[in-house]
Structure formats: structure tokens, C-alpha cells
């Protein structure tokens, strides 16, 4: 997993609420064994006509939002089915962070564990970011994970919350397993001095 | 929405006893003893108390593109113009356009193409028994495809031991292997664009059952009644309710 410290980039607006994981990545694309390559199918049913041609009025198809690093989604972003492919697809589509007023819990956790930064801001900041993205697509924001701030073009710093463990993992580019493996020596030393756990399964 | 924790009771113990992976013999006795130590403390304070009265509940059905967009089966599709909140109005408007439904429309009598009785959430043995009892002696309507997909291999085996599969097949439904099937539509079990389904699964997002497919979430009994009539139907109008 790539370490995240500072993300600077343009915004792409997708202001509708309750964007569910079936839109982020439809289920028929889940038959993969590699998390790479899902970017092309991200928001597939909203992005493409039945014959595969891009819908010109969908925000992510507009030329001015190509290469945007930060997606600004509506409230309750990532609701619906538990699906790790959702952050994989968003990462594959080039996003490094998603900003919303609220993230569905499972999506938020999946994002954090896969190096996609979910940034929760207040409703007023969210409105400003949507306006900014729509009125000046070239405007850049900076998301500073270390400082836990979003820096707007006018210089305003907006704080965002993140739990200390997730922040540590993202800053260091390790996932939970990587974190544990880093403690292998300590775990082995502990296990050597303690009896095995009692069996907790049947039979 | 949220999760609740409830102390296990006799019904719980009875359900778990003898199941695969459940403790057996002395281990079972020890486990039940331990579980009995889990009641709510006397005088416990709660953040919120919710009283649910199922007696007043009518069969529910969804009209939109998330599970929260539901109404009583004899109700009417809500009107976006009557929504105070702008984002709710936008969401409802978008959902109705996707579903090709009109505000104020009744769902009862709406023609469907597919009835999906399946998914881990609503294809338990109790669901299949209920639906089979309803459908016995009746026929799936012409032009309707009904898939019956047991919620697990265990459910499938139990249902077949009770002969439920023969009832469904005799009615013209497809009796399928246990699996996700049209709940997630990753295999070939998919709606065609524009088709309507009554589904006992718990997800009705855009394209969930196939790109462009339109889902009404409902109970197994509503699904069975709809399959028989070919249009969305209230099972209460078709049976003397004799629930277990």
C-alpha cells in the first residue's frame, strides 16, 4: 500500500446522496482475482450507454474532471453492499481521496484499509467544495493527512477526523496485516512465554 | 439504522442446539450456562428504546432504488414535489425515473416479469415452507419467470426432504441450487433492461439485479402471490392467514 501524506489535486463533483457500492462498481465486475483494472468500470452504469459509449453529461466523463484526485460525493457515500472492490475501483479511476459529509461504515473501513482516504467535512464546507468543483474545475485542494486538514484555494484549513490507527497505517503505507507482520518478533516472543489458547470451536 | 444486542433466550438455544459447529455434549451444557450469564443488567440505562408492534404491520414493498424507499403494499408511490428536503426530492425523482413509476401510483396490480424467491435474507426454510404452502395447487402466471433459490445448502436439503421443491416445480417455478443468484446477479441470473422483478432479497439499487433491471423488494408471501397473479399482489387477499 502506498503511503499517504499529502494529496494535492483537482476535485470531481458527484453531489447526489446515498451513492451505493452497486453504482461505484456493479456486481458483474466483481469476478476478478486482481484488484487492479477496475477503474474502467467505476460508475460503469452511470458513465456508459448500453453500447459502451461514454455519457457526455456524467461528471466524471467531462474533460475538465479528467485526472481529478479528489471525488466529492454526497451524504452517506458508499452505502449498500459490503464490497472491497468499491475502493479498488475508485483508486483505479485515479482518486486518492473522497470527501463527503458522511460515509457508510463498511465502505469507510474498506477505503481506509486500501489506501483511499475518506474525508468527512461539515455540510457548509461540502457545499463550498461542490460549488468550487463546478465553477472552477481547475482549482486544487490539498488534503494533509498528517495535519488532518483540507486546505481550500482561499487558504482556509478545515479539520477532518480520522482514528489514530488508520492514520498511522496510511501515513506509513501499511495495511493491518502489514502492521502485524511488523510486530512479528514481539508476537513470537509473547507466544513463547504463554500457553496456547483454549480451543473455541466444536469437536 | 443500527445494530442491537439481545440476550439469548430459549428460542435461541433451541435453534443453535445440534447445528454444525455448535458445541456438543458437556461443551454444550457449559456454553448454555455461559450464555445464560448474558442478560441485561437490572437497571441498565439505554440510549434509546424502540417498541415495535408487528400486529400493525402490513406487508411492505419498495418502489425505489434503496431499501429505505418502501411503502405498505396497498400504499401509493410518494410524490417528490411533496418532499421538503431538496436532496430527498432529487433522490426520489431520480429513483422514480429509473423505476419508471409515477407519483401517487399504486403498486398493486403492477405487472412483473420475474419473481425471485431467494437470498440469504429471505429464503430460510421457514420462508420456503410459507411460500410453498401458498403456492401449492396454484400456478405461476404465464409470462412470469419464478426462480426459487434456497438460502443455503442446508435449507435446500431440508426443503427437498419435505418435498417443497416438488410443490414449486409443479407450480411452474424453477427450483435452483442454493446461492446468490439474482440477489447480486453476478451469474447469468439477471434482469433484462427495463424488466420488473419482485424480489425477496434486500438490495434494490440501480442495476442490482441486472443492468437497467427494476426491483421491488417484498416478502416471500408477497412474492408467491405476485408470481401466481403475474401482478403485484397482496397475499392477505388470497389466503386465510395460518402462520406458524
Domains and CATH numbers, chain B: 1-50 (no CATH), 59-244 (3.30.499.10)
Whether B3 contacts chain A with CB within 8 A: no
Give the model confidence (pLDDT) of B185-233 as tens digits: 998 999 999 999 999 999 999 999 999 999 999 999 999 999 999 999 9
* Minimal CA separation from A201 to chain B, in Å: 7
**A20:B90 CB<8 A:** no
Task: Please write the tens of the pLDDT for every residue from B82-126.
Answer: 998 888 899 999 999 999 999 999 999 999 999 999 999 999 999
Contact A100, A118 (CB under 8 A): yes
Q: How far apart are CA B190 and CA A173, in angstroms?
A: 39
User: Would you call A85 helix, strand, or coil by DSSP?
Assistant: helix
Which neighbouring-strand residues pair with B94? none
Helical ranges in chain A per DSSP H = 21-24, 44-47, 85-92, 105-113, 123-135, 164-172, 176-181, 184-192
Q: ipTM value of the model?
A: 0.85
Q: Which of A181, A73, A154 is nearest to A117 (CA)?
A: A73
Å from A24 to nearest chain B CA? 11
Return d(Cα B156, Cα B147) in angstroms, integer.
Answer: 14
Q: How far apart are CA A48 and CA B183, in angstroms?
A: 23
d(CA B136, CA B118): 18
B-chain residues near A20 (CB < 8 A): 66, 205
Domains and CATH numbers, chain A: 6-173 (3.20.19.10)
Residue B23 to chain A, least CA–CA distance (Å): 5
pLDDT along chain A (203 residues), means of 10: 95 96 95 91 94 95 97 97 96 98 97 96 97 97 98 96 97 94 94 74 59
For the four alpha carbons of A7, A8, A9 and A12, in that order, the dihedral sign comes to positive
Minimal Cβ distance to A22: which of B27, B91, B208: B208
Q: Do B203 and A201 touch (CB under 8 A)?
A: no
Nine-digit cell at B116? 425471485
Task: Tell me the whole-structure pTM to 2 decimals.
Answer: 0.88
pLDDT of residue B2: 55
Amino acid at each position: 500500500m502506498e503511503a499517504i501524506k499529502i494529496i494535492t489535486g483537482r476535485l470531481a463533483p458527484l453531489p447526489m446522496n446515498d451513492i451505493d457500492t452497486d453504482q461505484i462498481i456493479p456486481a458483474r465486475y466483481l469476478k476478478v482475482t486482481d484488484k487492479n483494472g477496475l477503474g474502467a468500470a467505476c460508475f460503469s452504469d452511470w458513465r456508459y450507454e448500453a453500447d459502451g459509449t461514454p455519457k457526455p453529461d456524467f461528471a466524471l466523463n467531462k474533460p475538465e474532471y479528467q485526472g481529478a484526485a479528489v471525488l466529492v460525493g454526497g451524504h452517506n457515500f458508499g452505502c449498500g453492499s459490503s464490497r472491497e472492490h468499491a475502493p479498488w475501483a475508485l483508486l483505479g479511476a485515479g482518486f486518492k481521496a473522497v470527501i463527503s459529509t458522511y460515509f457508510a461504515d463498511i465502505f469507510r473501513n474498506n477505503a481506509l484499509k486500501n489506501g483511499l482516504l475518506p474525508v468527512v467535512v461539515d455540510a457548509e464546507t461540502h457545499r463550498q467544495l461542490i460549488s468550487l468543483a463546478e465553477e472552477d474545475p481547475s482549482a486544487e485542494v490539498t488534503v494533509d493527512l498528517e495535519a488532518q486538514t483540507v486546505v481550500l484555494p482561499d487558504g482556509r484549513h478545515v479539520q477532518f477526523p480520522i482514528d489514530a490507527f488508520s492514520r498511522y497505517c496510511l501515513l506509513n503505507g501499511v495495511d493491518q496485516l502489514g502492521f502485524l507482520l511488523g510486530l512479528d518478533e514481539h508476537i513470537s516472543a509473547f507466544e513463547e512465554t504463554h500457553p496456547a489458547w483454549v480451543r473455541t470451536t466444536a469437536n | 439504522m443500527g445494530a442491537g444486542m439481545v440476550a439469548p433466550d430459549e428460542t435461541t438455544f433451541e435453534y443453535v442446539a445440534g447445528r454444525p459447529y455448535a458445541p456438543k455434549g458437556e461443551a454444550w451444557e457449559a456454553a448454555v450456562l455461559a450464555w445464560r450469564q448474558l442478560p441485561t443488567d437490572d437497571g441498565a440505562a439505554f440510549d434509546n428504546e424502540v417498541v415495535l408492534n408487528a400486529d400493525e404491520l402490513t406487508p411492505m414493498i419498495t418502489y425505489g432504488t434503496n431499501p429505505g424507499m418502501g411503502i405498505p403494499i396497498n400504499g401509493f408511490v410518494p410524490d417528490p414535489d411533496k418532499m421538503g428536503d431538496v436532496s430527498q426530492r432529487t433522490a426520489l425523482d431520480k429513483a422514480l425515473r429509473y423505476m419508471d413509476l409515477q407519483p401517487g401510483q399504486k403498486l398493486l396490480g403492477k405487472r412483473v416479469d420475474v419473481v425471485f424467491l431467494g437470498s440469504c435474507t429471505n429464503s430460510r426454510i421457514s420462508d420456503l415452507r410459507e411460500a410453498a404452502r401458498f403456492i401449492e395447487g396454484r400456478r405461476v402466471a404465464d409470462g412470469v419467470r419464478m426462480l426459487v433459490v434456497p438460502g443455503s445448502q442446508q435449507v435446500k436439503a431440508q426443503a427437498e426432504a419435505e418435498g417443497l421443491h416438488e410443490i414449486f416445480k409443479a407450480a411452474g417455478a424453477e427450483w435452483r441450487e442454493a446461492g446468490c443468484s439474482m440477489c447480486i446477479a453476478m451469474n447469468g441470473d439477471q434482469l433484462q433492461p427495463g424488466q420488473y422483478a419482485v424480489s425477496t432479497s434486500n438490495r434494490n439499487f440501480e442495476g442490482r439485479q441486472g443492468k437497467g433491471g427494476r426491483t421491488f423488494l417484498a416478502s416471500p408471501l408477497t412474492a408467491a402471490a405476485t408470481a401466481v397473479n403475474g401482478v403485484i399482489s397482496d397475499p392477505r387477499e388470497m389466503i386465510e392467514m395460518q402462520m406458524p
